[in-house]
Amino acid sequence: MKLLLELIDKKQQEYLQSPFFKYMEDNTIEPRQKLVYAPIVVPLALDFSEWCKQVIRDEPTTNRIQEMLNVHTYEEHFHWQWLLEDMEKMGIDYPVKFSDAAKFLWSEQTKVSRAMLPLFSRYTYGADPIIKLIALEVSEVTANAFFKATMSAALQLEEMQGEEFRYFGTRHNQIENTHTLHTPACLQEMKDIEISDEIREKAIEVINVSFDYFTKLVDEFYLYAQAHSYQEPFAKVYQSEQVLSLV
């Protein structure tokens, strides 16, 4: 298992080269603009919660790895609520027609974000707990990088508005780094796991597919931020839908 964790570390360094992370380091950009892609994070956040509950969790179990996974799913399932809370504080949680919300959630702008559940379920539903663990570990290390990148903008907004931004800010970043799965004891236990050649081959495939997905995801966030203003975060989506309705 140690070799798989080393591969994850290597892929993580490649992931961090995405233009998204350079964008988030630019201190000249207004903090609300840095987080303008918040609406397209919603499908991913809800999908991740469902993936944890419906696919990763398996109770009852006598398998030690599955026990570790089960604990993690309970630590993760509520984070999407913080995202909706932060959007409200950013002023982009305003009433829209149900049909407009549906058009947005299934628009081209959310194509990658909403693909999380079907893609990861394909590799992890009913899979060996080690495969689930590998997929979850990739999601965790990429999430840690993402929330580390958003923290500066969230802290600026907190100073401007006098409100805590729990999803994009310090709270989420701290929790991501203190999950039970990432305690020194659990990390050492993971490194010591012996796996078969068959499982290793499958795990490498999952690592590659997972990092490819998360790289495309932050690319989607970056492109959305380039095309939308935080003052009108949905405007381009509605304009494109209006054009399609005329065809």
What pLDDT score does 176 carry?
A: 78
**Inter-residue contact 8 to 182 (CB < 8 Å):** no
Give strand pairing partners of 232: 229
36-91 pLDDT, tens digit each: 999 999 999 999 999 999 999 999 999 999 999 999 999 887 889 999 999 999 99
Retrieve residue 179's tokens: 């999950």
Q: Give the span between the Cα atoms of 94 and 104, in whole angstroms.
A: 14
Give the global pTM.
0.92
* The pLDDT value given to residue 200: 97
Residue 28, exposed/middle/buried by CB under 10 A (0-12, 13-18, 19+)? exposed
What pLDDT, in 10s, does the model give residues 117-172? 999 999 999 999 999 999 999 999 999 999 999 999 999 999 999 999 999 999 89
Report, at the CATH architecture level, how domain 2-246 is classified: Up-down Bundle (1.20)
User: Could you say which DSSP state residue 27 is in?
Assistant: T
How far is CA 89 from its chain centroid?
20
Render pLDDT for 165-221 as a digit per residue (tens, 0 to 9): 999 999 898 887 778 887 888 888 989 999 999 999 999 999 999 999 999 999 999
- Measured CA to CA, the distance from residue 231 to residue 217 in angstroms comes to 23
